[in-house]
């Protein structure tokens, strides 16, 4: 079987025989892959002119709904993905992380897009900046989708997750993708892309797939494109220095394998829950995916007097690890992804042995299925580096397989120094019940780690673990880890967008951003804005209310009703050396009285009060003060129409309370649910 490439809206078979792809357990040929004959310049042109054009027309909510639909569709097909995944050497657990973990990224980003982003094709960033004395000239920032394509060059270890975690954010941003999976396991990626295309959920041009070599594709990227790379630091640096990338300042996000560490706290002793958690975590991180994880624990840093008990406990646990074909019942760890990887890992282990002692090694392991000769099996290995400050191979050499090295430390400062000697890591973890020790480790190690996990008995049961990047949090790291950053919720989306500063009059920027900007025009009408349906409201629609005088009875009654008897609200208080001159109205009374002025009582399009944001009490209001409200439609956020519910949207209103001197006394944003027509 020859794998297909999906380019320019059609499935295309590459020329020639292609590279044979093998079953990692048996060595049998699964498929052949080749991209020979594909015009990469034409592929990228198609993505920009078709895919980008189609996606940019959609809003974040549109794209978010598509991501959810795609996630649901892929879940229905997951059993077929599992069947194919076993051929890569992945066990059921390994495959769950790759397949359902990848689909989980789609669900998370779908929710982020629909709940945290506007129903527009662009995003307004932050607050306006007043740039002139009278406020007629302001500045703001917006994000718009780049007009190019995301080129994803992925690693072999997660052929599903590696693709889905990246396309989840670029598609939500409104940018199409060209996916180049690592050739060795590309047959699983191809199976998933076939389902993405057949679902017809995303518009034409949103995703393309290249199975086989993509050599030369970087010659055709432009400054509107984004390139991401996951894999070895050596390959990543070579691609990052490509002449076209450098000359055109093309964004290049690199996530490279790193020498991640796990630190055992000085407080943890054998027999404690934290000790068992530590041993279990380290063992899991070098056996899940056969240790082929960019986040796997390569350096196990423990107090010097704990080297022996940790080594014994870890060896005892790893001795129970059964190796073999993942389709055979009882197999706990499968092979590496390919024979090339096996040769590479064994070579690195031998290199580490030059400066490290062997703690655990099962060179005569038995297999449950699979082939010793043709399969890519490597047994778990634990080494010990007795002098990690002088023999530094442990901080430089990575065996990308089921391998970790025990490293001793004396005191927190040494632990921090050793962790940082990895020269930049994707993740570090700390197992301790001492929060002070954890704090010292975080403050000492944060600069060289993209993520840090603190594990103890209180969170271990629900923890996602050392090696599991979460779509809500950033994934990446400095230095050796590539210096890149992906995922991270909305942060990841913005990598595929251009942030632009915009300047002008508040009325103009209100129109541009579709969010009311202070100082902009506020047209008033005879019709109360609460009588308008969601579609009828315009940004800037304003109501100026009647006035109300604040009385002593108002303040005293509110104190009794609310139970708030703060001294400033009592007439007999001593106000010397305070912020107030005399008895002052409660801030919450002011905002409640404001609602009494602007709320339209009869039943109408306003369904409910949805909440209040950004409430500020700016100026005290005393007895005899007069308050008036300017209510302005600030922003509209459409909600999905759901069967059995009233179609509606959320309207954000600026509530400005003005006193008798025409100065702002309070400012808030209230939210209402407003029915659609």
Q: What positions carry a catalytic annotation?
A: 255, 294
Pairing of strands 403-409, 297-303: parallel
Residue closest to 123 by CA, chosen among 485, 631, 502: 502
Beta carbons of 278 and 303 less than 8 angstroms apart: no
- The whole-angstrom distance between residue 580's C-alpha and the CA centroid of its chain comes to 47
- Give the helix/strand (H/E) hosting 262: strand 260-264
Beta carbons of 462 and 492 less than 8 angstroms apart: no
DSSP character string of 113-181: HHHHS-SSSSEEEEEEEE-STTSSSEEEEEEEE-SS-EEEE--SS-TTHHHHHHHHHHHHHT--EEEE-
Residue closest to 20 by CA, chosen among 289, 275, 338: 338
Sign of the alpha-carbon dihedral angle for 288, 290, 291, 293: negative
Question: What residues does 498 pair with on adjacent strands?
Answer: 144
Cα separation, 256 vs 294, whole angstroms:
7
Cα separation, 36 vs 319, whole angstroms:
46
Question: What residues does 616 pair with on adjacent strands?
Answer: 667
Residue closest to 275 by CA, chosen among 536, 11, 456: 456
**Cβ of 385: how many Cβ atoms within 10 Å?**
22
Distance of CA 194 to CAs 80, 158, 478, Å? 12, 17, 35
Beta carbons of 177 and 170 less than 8 angstroms apart: yes
Sign of the alpha-carbon dihedral angle for 399, 403, 408, 412: positive
Which bin fits 459, alpha (ψ -120 to 50), beta or left (φ > 0)? alpha
């Amino acid at each position: 079987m020859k794998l297909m490439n999906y380019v320019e809206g059609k499935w295309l078979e590459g020329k020639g025989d292609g590279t044979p792809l093998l079953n990692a357990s048996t060595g049998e040929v699964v498929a052949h892959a080749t991209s020979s004959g594909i015009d990469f310049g034409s592929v990228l042109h198609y993505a920009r002119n078709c895919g980008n054009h189609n996606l940019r027309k959609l809003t974040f909510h549109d794209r978010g709904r598509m991501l959810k639909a795609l996630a649901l569709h892929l879940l229905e097909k997951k059993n077929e993905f599992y069947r194919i995944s076993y051929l890569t050497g992945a066990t059921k657990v390994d495959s769950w992380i790759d397949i359902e973990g990848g689909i989980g990224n789609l669900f998370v980003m779908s929710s982020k897009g629909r709940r945290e982003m506007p129903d527009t094709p662009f995003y307004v960033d932050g607050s306006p900046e007043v740039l002139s004395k009278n406020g007629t000239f302001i500045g703001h920032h917006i994000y718009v989708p780049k007009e190019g394509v995301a080129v994803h060059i992925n690693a072999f270890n997660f052929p599903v997750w590696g693709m889905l975690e990246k396309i989840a954010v670029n598609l939500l941003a409104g940018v199409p993708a060209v996916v180049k999976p690592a050739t060795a396991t590309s047959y699983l990626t191809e199976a998933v892309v076939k389902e993405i295309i057949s679902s017809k959920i995303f518009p034409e041009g949103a995703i393309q797939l290249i199975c086989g070599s993509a050599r030369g594709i970087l010659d055709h990227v432009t400054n509107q494109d984004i390139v991401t790379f996951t894999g070895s630091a050596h390959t990543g640096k070579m691609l990052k220095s490509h002449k076209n990338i450098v000359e055109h300042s093309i964004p290049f996000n690199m996530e490279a394998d790193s020498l991640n560490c796990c630190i055992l706290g000085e407080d943890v002793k054998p027999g404690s829950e934290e000790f068992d958690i530590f041993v279990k975590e380290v063992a899991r991180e070098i056996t899940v995916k056969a240790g082929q994880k960019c986040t796997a624990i390569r350096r196990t840093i423990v107090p010097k007097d704990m080297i022996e008990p940790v080594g014994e406990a870890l060896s005892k646990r790893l001795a129970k690890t059964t190796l073999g074909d993942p389709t055979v019942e009882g197999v706990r760890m499968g092979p590496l992804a390919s024979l090339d990887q096996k040769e590479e890992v064994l070579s690195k282990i031998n290199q580490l042995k030059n400066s490290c002692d062997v703690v655990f090694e099962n060179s005569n392991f038995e297999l449950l299925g699979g082939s010793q000769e043709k399969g890519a099996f490597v047994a778990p290995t634990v080494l010990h580096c007795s002098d990690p400050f002088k023999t530094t191979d442990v901080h430089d050499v990575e065996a990308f397989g089921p391998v970790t090295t025990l490293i001793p430390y004396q005191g927190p400062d040494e632990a921090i120094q050793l962790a940082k000697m990895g020269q930049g890591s994707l993740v570090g973890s700390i197992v301790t019940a001492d929060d002070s020790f954890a704090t010292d480790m975080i403050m000492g190690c944060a600069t060289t780690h993209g993520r840090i996990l603190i594990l103890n008995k209180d969170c271990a049961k629900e923890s996602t673990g050392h090696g599991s990047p979460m779509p809500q949090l950033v994934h990446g790291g400095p230095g050796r880890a590539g210096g890149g950053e992906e995922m991270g919720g909305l942060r990841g989306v913005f990598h595929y967008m251009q942030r632009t500063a915009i300047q002008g009059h508040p009325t103009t920027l209100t129109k541009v951003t579709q969010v009311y900007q202070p100082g902009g025009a506020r047209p008033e009408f005879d019709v109360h804005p609460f009588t308008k349906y969601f579609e009828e409201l315009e940004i800037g629609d304003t109501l100026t209310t009647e006035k109300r005088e604040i009385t002593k009875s108002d303040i005293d009654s509110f104190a009794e009703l609310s139970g708030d008897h703060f001294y400033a609200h009592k007439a007999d208080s001593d106000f010397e050396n305070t912020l107030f001159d005399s008895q002052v109205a409660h801030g919450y009374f002011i905002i409640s009285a404001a609602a009494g002025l602007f709320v339209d009582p009869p039943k109408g399009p306003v369904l409910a009060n949805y909440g209040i944001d950004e409430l500020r009490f700016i100026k005290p209001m005393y007895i005899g003060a007069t308050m008036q409200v300017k209510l302005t439609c600030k922003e509209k956020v459409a909600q999905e129409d759901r069967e059995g519910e009233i179609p509606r949207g959320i309207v954000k209103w600026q509530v400005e309370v003005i006193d008798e001197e025409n100065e702002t006394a309070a400012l808030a944003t209230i939210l209402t649910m407003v029915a659609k027509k």
